[in-house]
């Protein structure tokens, strides 16, 4: 993408008036997206974007500039702009570049660019037909397909050099159903790091049928009760609680500001022996995986909680420098035009020994949380509120009727303490995480989990 001679000149220019570290991030991104609504293709987009971001770090300060031109002169101008606010002591010349030992790659088996546009549209149409055939009460179907290939290069003045080639594909279906003024939705959006083979493993019609089934089931929902209940979290989607209520508080940029409920508590026990939570950017073909992060640090598995004890955190270059640890490979950015920040990758509560069916049978009266939709968490306190888009009552050990308007209200550290059982039916759930105005593909994973007692907000009179 850039020759090493040019890279050396740019890094030297970035450090010409001082600084501890200079970095160049070069990106070449191509993408396509299709959207079908009510049987008609409404949006088709395809594009390519190339550019570079240059950053200079000096002590606790950092300065950044970017350009969409990759000619040497433009890169040198960007380097000059990046160092403009950080004049100080002279810096050593950039070290010779040495390629880092990257984590595993996640290649596309079927290159999305080799698939005709007509085939991608046919997948959307198949989804539309499958959703509508699920029932006459289906009112709207929105299906989307997106692929992106991202080739990147990262070089730093400390000599680190890394490249990655990432392809991601995602297919989404939203179904709206209605009956007698009641409107419900169902949503499915699998994705992975890889190519078009996703839709061979997860056919569009199958994805749409699942979304439609959810929307139609929720038409029969009754108002949710409110109070303290046992709650069983469904595998996969329930992992969003781990991501939000635990993961964000263990991103080191929050810890160094003492703005996290977990700050200064490493070594403390929060839950039982079966609770181990990791962030792992190396999971094969997972939506949140990569070979190196966007600062050139190899992807790795980072243990956050081990057997219920807080043992780790996630960091990027800057936060690791402040803490005095090595970075964990969690420096991520939306594009070359953005500054990297500490972000999760694939954050998983590892499976346990318990029988999911036995968990449900053990509940006299409680809630089965099948899918979450929206919520908020305060990293400083750990307090959270999450809406349930699909939930059911458990009565006398059986899942009975669907409920609407249910919210899960609690506290991240305390939630870990009320995990009574963890199943062996581990599943992933793919999503997009927003932070500091940037979005990143992330995965959460967990098996069925039983929370002994937690607050459920509801609308039952």
Q: What is the pLDDT of residues 282-335, one digit of tens each?
A: 999 999 999 999 999 999 999 999 999 999 999 999 999 999 999 999 999 999
Over residues 151-168, the mean pLDDT reads 98
pLDDT band at 459 (very low <50, low <70, confident <90, very high): confident
pLDDT band at 130 (very low <50, low <70, confident <90, very high): very high
Is residue 257 classed as helix, strand or coil in its secondary structure? coil
Distance CA 244, CA 255 (A): 15
pLDDT of residue 343: 98
Supply the mean pLDDT for the chain. 96
**CATH code for residues 4-220:** 3.30.2290.10
Q: Which of 88-92, 251-255, 337-341, 416-420 has the lowest mean pLDDT?
A: 88-92
Mean pLDDT of 365-378: 93
Check if the beta carbon of residue 38 is closer than 8 Å to that of residue 25.
no
Residue 129: the pLDDT is: 98
Question: Is the pLDDT higher at 1 or at 64?
Answer: 64
Q: Give the residue carrying structure tokens 């939306």.
A: 334
Please give the average per-residue pLDDT across 405-422, as a whole number.
Answer: 97
Residue 460: what pLDDT? 77
Rounded-to-integer distance, Cα 327 and Cα 135, Å: 51
Closest among 166, 131, 136 to 148, alpha carbons compared:
166
Overall pTM > 0.75: yes
* d(C-alpha 189, C-alpha 109), whole Å: 20
User: Tokens 């080799």 sit at which residue?
Assistant: 114
pLDDT greater than 80 at residue 380: yes
Q: Quick one: tokens of 351?
A: 């499976």
Position 12 pLDDT exceeds 70? yes
Q: Which residues lie below 8 Å from residue 446, measured CB to CB, with a gap of 6+?
A: 233, 235, 236, 238, 239, 242, 348, 349, 351, 422, 426, 427
Residue with tokens 């990758």: 345
Residue with tokens 């078009």: 196
Query: In this structure, how many other beta carbons lie within 10 angstroms of the beta carbon of residue 111?
Result: 14
Q: Give the residue with greater pLDDT, 202 vs 92.
A: 202
Tracing tokens 């490979």 back to the chain, one arrives at 329
Q: What percent of the chain has a predicted confidence (pLDDT) above 90?
A: 94
Instruction: Identify the burial level of 320 via C-beta atoms within 10 angstroms of its C-beta, where 0-12 means exposed, 13-18 middle and 19 or more buried.
Output: buried
What pLDDT, on the 0 to 100 scale, is given for residue 195? 98
In the chain, where the domains are located = 4-220, 222-457
Give the closest residue to 249 by CA, choosing from 382, 349, 346, 342: 382
What is the reported pLDDT for 225?
A: 97
pLDDT in tens, 189-248: 999 999 999 999 999 999 999 999 999 999 999 999 999 999 999 999 999 999 999 999
Strand partners, 419: 451
Contact of 103 with 285, CB cutoff 8 Å = no
Q: Is residue 67 pLDDT above 80, yes or no?
A: yes
**pLDDT at residue number 30:** 98
Q: What is the mean pLDDT of residues 38-61?
A: 95
Residue 145's Cβ-count burial label (10 Å; 0-12, 13-18, 19+) is buried
Residue 88 pLDDT? 66
- Report how far residue 459's alpha carbon sits from residue 461's, in angstroms, rounded to the nearest whole number: 6
Between 292 and 61, the more confident residue is 292
CA angle 349, 355, 361 (to 5 degrees): 120
Give how far the C-alpha of residue 382 lies from the chain's centroid of Cα atoms, to the nearest Å.
Answer: 19
Which secondary-structure segment (H or E) carries 369?
A: strand 365-377
Of 198 and 373, the one with more pLDDT: 198
**361: pLDDT strictly greater than 80:** yes
What letter would DSSP give residue 245?
I
């Amino acid at each position: 993408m850039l020759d090493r001679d040019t890279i050396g000149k740019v890094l030297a220019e970035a450090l010409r008036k001082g600084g501890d570290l200079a970095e160049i991030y070069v990106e070449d991104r191509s993408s396509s997206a299709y959207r079908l609504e009510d049987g008609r293709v409404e949006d088709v987009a395809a594009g390519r974007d190339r550019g570079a971001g240059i950053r200079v770090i000096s002590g606790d300060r950092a300065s950044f500039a970017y350009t969409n031109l990759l000619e040497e002169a433009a890169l040198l101008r960007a380097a000059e702009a990046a160092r403009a606010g950080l004049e100080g002591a002279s810096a050593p010349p950039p070290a010779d570049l040495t390629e880092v030992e990257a984590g595993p790659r996640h290649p596309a088996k079927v290159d999305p660019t080799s698939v005709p546009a007509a085939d991608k549209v046919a997948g959307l149409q198949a989804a539309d037909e499958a959703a509508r055939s699920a029932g006459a009460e289906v009112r709207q179907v929105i299906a989307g397909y997106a692929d992106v290939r991202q080739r990147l290069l990262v070089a730093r003045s400390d000599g680190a050099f890394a490249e990655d080639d990432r392809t991601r594909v995602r297919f989404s279906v939203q179904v709206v159903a209605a009956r007698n003024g009641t409107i419900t939705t169902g949503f499915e959006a699998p994705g992975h790091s890889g190519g078009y083979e996703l839709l061979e493993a997860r056919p569009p019609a199958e994805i749409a049928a699942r979304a439609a089934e959810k929307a139609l089931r929720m038409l029969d929902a009754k108002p949710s009760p409110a109070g303290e209940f046992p709650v069983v979290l469904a595998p996969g989607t329930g992992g969003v609680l781990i991501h939000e209520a635990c993961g964000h508080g263990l991103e080191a940029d929050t810890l160094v500001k003492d703005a996290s409920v977990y700050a200064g508590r490493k070594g403390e026990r929060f839950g039982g022996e079966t609770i181990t939570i990791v962030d792992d950017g190396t999971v094969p073909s997972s939506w949140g995986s990569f070979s190196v992060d966007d600062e050139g640090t190899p992807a790795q598995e980072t243990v956050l909680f081990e057997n219920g004890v807080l043992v780790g955190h996630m960091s990027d270059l800057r936060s690791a420098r402040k803490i005095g640890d090595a970075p964990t490979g969690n420096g991520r950015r939306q594009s070359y035009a953005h500054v990297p920040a500490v972000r999760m990758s694939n954050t998983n509560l590892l499976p346990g020994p318990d029988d999911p069916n036995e968990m449900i049978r053990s509940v006299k009266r409680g809630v089965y949380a099948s899918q979450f939709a929206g919520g908020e968490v305060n990293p400083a306190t750990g307090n959270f509120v999450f809406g349930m888009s699909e939930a059911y009552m458990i009565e006398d050990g059986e899942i009975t009727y669907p409920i609407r308007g249910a919210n899960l209200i609690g506290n991240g550290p305390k939630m870990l303490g009320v995990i009574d059982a963890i199943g062996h039916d581990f599943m992933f759930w793919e999503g997009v995480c927003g932070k500091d105005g940037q979005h990143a593909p992330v995965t959460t994973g967990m098996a069925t989990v039983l929370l002994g007692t937690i607050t459920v907000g509801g609308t039952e009179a």
